[in-house]
Amino acid sequence: MSPATPDPAGKPRTAGRRPGGPDTRGEILAAARESFAGKGFAGTSLRAVAREAGVDAALVHHYFGGKDELFIEALALPIDPRQVAAQILAGPPDELGRRIVTVFLGVWESPDGQQRMKALLRSVVSSEDVARLMREGITKMIIHPVAETLELPDAELRVSLVATHLIGMALSRYLIELEPIASADVQTLINRMAPTIQHYLTAP
Amino acid sequence: MSPATPDPAGKPRTAGRRPGGPDTRGEILAAARESFAGKGFAGTSLRAVAREAGVDAALVHHYFGGKDELFIEALALPIDPRQVAAQILAGPPDELGRRIVTVFLGVWESPDGQQRMKALLRSVVSSEDVARLMREGITKMIIHPVAETLELPDAELRVSLVATHLIGMALSRYLIELEPIASADVQTLINRMAPTIQHYLTAP
């Protein structure tokens, strides 16, 4: 084997690097979105994003903190998914199903949340890149943390079955406007769905 | 009230009517799709579709039979939804949930069915017209017939909750490719979902 050649990207460059300006944040975000969509979360490095955006890596840290934060910003969700996971997990395990559907529909029922989630769901369906971004987002930010607390060998399958049901509810109620789902009141839907979701999560 | 004026559309026209040609069927179908999408099933008449397509109403009957058949053709489904409803309803009521998920995933698992259903789901999400068409189709061809057999006051809500879950499964497994749903084997999914769907349909 030949000795490793130095990575040219690892060598600091000064030419072509612009200082932080009013659009820098947006340009980093655009580069991040492209990288997360094309290479996934694991395949994306802050250094590569910085290079793509033509800025110094320190600026990425300055604007976004770390890779998790950059990823969450790239998802453009109406709320921080870590906050959603925390809300879902705070409380007795036998009411997990009810908390999940309550938090999920709560986001969709807020006018701003609904508008943004509808746009996101439309993009997921029409773009493979957005679908991959969202798939990674749901897995990393929601499915993994919830599955971990279940401590069951098939926990990920259980949580992802719940996710499919919730995604279908959002699509049916807010985009297809299927009746009587579309005009049912939220509490009715929560009461119907909570036992089913609980069953998926904790039934033997 | 003034006496009813004769409907000009009701008066036979000969000018502009073309005889049935190689594209006539397709033109009728395009006009039907537009009408069902814009005015719904109840608001669409075969006579109006014929007028829009510039053909005699007798040709619509000749090519499609009746309004139900024209509607089903307009939906462009890989299988006749009446056949799906018949398969679902043939068998013991306590296995209704299992039959529903088996038939639904069966359509999606066939290569031709999956390709057409994916295209349809993408159109539903990106076009309000297709969404309306599909909403009416699901309601009329699946939800109503299944709900009728349940003989419960909230039957339509029950069946539509099942529909949301199935739509979400299709979206997650075949379009978003969410794991471990996307690579789970079909029988595992049927075994997990059947009791939940049965619960929605028949639980007190």
Nearest residue, CB atoms, A167 vs list B163, B168, B180: B168
So what's the pLDDT on residue A6?
A: 42
Q: Between A and B, how many CB-CB pairs are < 8 A? A: 126
- For the segment A109-117, the average pLDDT, to the nearest whole number, is 89
Q: How far does the CA of residue A165 sit from the closest CA of chain B (Å)?
A: 5
So what's the pLDDT on residue A197?
A: 96
> Cβ contact (<8 Å) for A156 and B200?
no
Radius of gyration of chain B (CA): 20
Q: Which of B59, B58, B50, B55 is nearest to B17 (CA)?
A: B55
In percent, the amount of chain A with pLDDT more than 90 equals: 52
pLDDT digits (tens, 9 = 90+) for B161-181: 999 999 999 999 999 999 999
Collect all residues from A whose CB is shorter than 8 A from any CB in B: 121-122, 124-126, 131, 134-135, 138-139, 156-157, 160-161, 163-169, 171-173, 175-181, 184, 188, 192-193, 195-196, 199-200
So what's the pLDDT on residue B19?
A: 55
Which residues of chain A neighbour B192 with C-beta distances below 8 Å? 157, 161, 200
Residue A126 has pLDDT above 90, yes or no: no
Query: What's the CA angle centered on A12, arms A6 and A17, to 5 degrees?
Result: 135
> Cβ contact (<8 Å) for B199 and A195?
yes
Task: Give Dmax (Cα) for chain B.
Answer: 67
Question: ipTM of this model?
Answer: 0.80
Q: Which of B91, B80, B113 is nearest to B198 (CA)?
A: B91
Q: How far apart, in whole angstroms, are the C-alpha atoms of residue A172 and residue A16?
A: 48
Q: Of residues A154 and A3, which shows the higher confidence score? A: A154
Give Cα B134 distance to the centre of its chain: 5
So what's the pLDDT on residue A10?
A: 42
Specify whether the CB–CB gap between A36 and A71 falls below 8 A.
yes
pLDDT digits (tens, 9 = 90+) for B81-116: 888 889 999 999 999 999 999 999 999 999 888 988
- For the segment A127-136, the average pLDDT, to the nearest whole number, is 85
So what's the pLDDT on residue A18?
A: 53
- Fold match, A8-75 / A81-202: no
Residue B149 has pLDDT above 70, yes or no: yes
> Cβ contact (<8 Å) for A126 and B121?
no
- Sorted by sequence, the CB contacts under 8 Å of residue B101 that are 6+ apart come out as B166, B189, B190, B193, B194, B197
Q: Which of A13, A123, A105, A32 is nearest to A72 (CA)?
A: A32
- Sorted by sequence, the CB contacts under 8 Å of residue B121 that are 6+ apart come out as A125, B167, B170, B171, B174, B175
Q: Of residues A16 and B188, which shows the higher confidence score? A: B188
Q: Which two tokens stand for residue A167?
A: 């995604």
So what's the pLDDT on residue B15?
A: 43
Nearest residue, CB atoms, B172 vs list A167, A178, A180: A167
In percent, the amount of chain A with pLDDT more than 70 equals: 89
- For the segment A182-187, the average pLDDT, to the nearest whole number, is 97
- For the segment A170-189, the average pLDDT, to the nearest whole number, is 95
Specify whether the CB–CB gap between B162 and B200 falls below 8 A.
yes
pLDDT digits (tens, 9 = 90+) for A22-75: 688 999 999 998 888 888 888 899 999 999 999 999 999 999 998 888 988 888
Q: How many helices (H) and strands (E) does chain B have?
A: 11, 0
Nearest residue, CB atoms, A171 vs list B160, B167, B173: B167
SS3 content of chain B, % helix, strand, coil (to 5): 75, 0, 25
Kindly give the residue spans of alpha helices, DSSP state H, lying in B41-185: 46-53, 57-64, 67-75, 81-89, 96-109, 111-126, 128-138, 144-150, 155-170
Q: How far apart, in whole angstroms, are the C-alpha atoms of residue B143 and residue B136?
A: 10
Q: How far apart, in whole angstroms, are the C-alpha atoms of residue B29 and residue B37?
A: 12
So what's the pLDDT on residue B138?
A: 86
Kindly give the residue spans of alpha helices, DSSP state H, lying in A65-154: 67-75, 81-89, 96-109, 111-126, 128-138, 144-150
- Please name the amino acid found at residue B95: E
Topology of the domain covering A8-75: Arc Repressor Mutant, subunit A (1.10.10)
Which residues of chain B neighbour A196 with C-beta distances below 8 Å? 196, 199-200
Share the mean pLDDT of chain B. 86
> Cβ contact (<8 Å) for A181 and B171?
no
Helix axes B96-109, B81-89, angle to 10 degrees: 150
In the structure, what pLDDT confidence band is assigned to residue A120 with cuts at 50, 70 and 90? confident
Q: How far does the CA of residue B31 sit from the closest CA of chain A (Å)?
A: 22
Q: Is B1 exposed, middle or buried (0-12, 13-18, 19+ CB in 10 A)?
A: exposed
Which stretch, A41-50, A139-148, B118-127, B165-174, has highest mean pLDDT? B165-174
Specify whether the CB–CB gap between A55 and A20 falls below 8 A.
yes
Q: How far apart, in whole angstroms, are the C-alpha atoms of residue A172 and residue B34?
A: 22
Which residues of chain B neighbour A183 with C-beta distances below 8 Å? none
**Any idea where the domains of chain B sit in the sequence?**
8-75, 81-202
Q: Which of A89, A55, A88, A60 is nearest to A74 (CA)?
A: A60
| Class of the CATH-defined domain A81-202 | mainly alpha
Residue A5 has pLDDT above 80, yes or no: no
Residue A98 has pLDDT above 50, yes or no: yes
In the structure, what pLDDT confidence band is assigned to residue A129 with cuts at 50, 70 and 90? confident
> Cβ contact (<8 Å) for B181 and A160?
yes
> Cβ contact (<8 Å) for A184 and B121?
no
Q: Which two tokens stand for residue B76?
A: 């462009």
Nearest residue, CB atoms, B172 vs list A163, A176, A184: A163
**Chain A contact probe: residue of B146, B178, B197 with most A CBs at under 10 A:** B178
> Cβ contact (<8 Å) for B180 and A160?
yes
